[in-house]
Homo-oligomer: A and B are copies of this chain.
Amino acid sequence: MTAHRHVIRVRYAESDQMGFAHHSTFIVWMEEARIEWLRSIGHSYRDLETQGVLMPVIEVQITYKKPFRFDDQVELTTEIAALGRSRVQFSTVFRMVGNETVHAEGRVVIAAVGRDGRPQRMPTGVLSTLPASP
C-alpha cells in the first residue's frame, strides 16, 4: 500500500486578506484527494453514494506550520489506515510541489453509513486495499 499523491493549485477565491490560503480550504482539498484516491483504486465516490453508501467525516484534525499562497501548487500525500469495518482514517501531508518542507499535516476519520444513518461495512474493494485487511 503506497501513498497517494494529489496536486491542487490554490485558487484566488481561496486566498484571504492575510495573503494565505484560508485554513478551511485544507479540508476541501483533503476531500478532493480522498475522492481521487478512491478513483485510483477503481471506485467512484459518486457511484458509492448512488448505491446508498455515504461516507461522512466524523473527525478532522489539521496542524498548520507554513502557509500556502494563491497560485501555489500544493501536493497532498495521503495514506490510509484501517480502523475497523465501518471507519477509515486518512493521514495527509501538505507540501509544495517539488519541495520536501511540510506545510501542514491533516487527519480525517470517515464512517460508512447508509441513508438511514446506520453504520455500514466499508465497501469490499475499499477494505481490500487497506494494510490491516485480511
- The residues of A with any CB-CB pair to B shorter than 8 Å are 11-13, 15-20, 22-25, 27-28, 31-32, 35, 44-46, 49, 54, 56-65, 67, 69-71
Contacts and interface: CB of A to CB of B under 8 A. Distances in A.
Please give the count of copies of this chain that the complex contains: 4
Contacts of A16: 12-13, 15-17
Which 3 A-B pairs have CB atoms at the shortest separation, nearest pair first? A15-B17, A24-B27, A61-B61
Nearest to A115: B18
A70 B19 CA distance: 13
Given A44-B71, A60-B60, 5 more contacts: A12-B45, A13-B16, A23-B56, A59-B64, A61-B61
B64 A17 contact: no
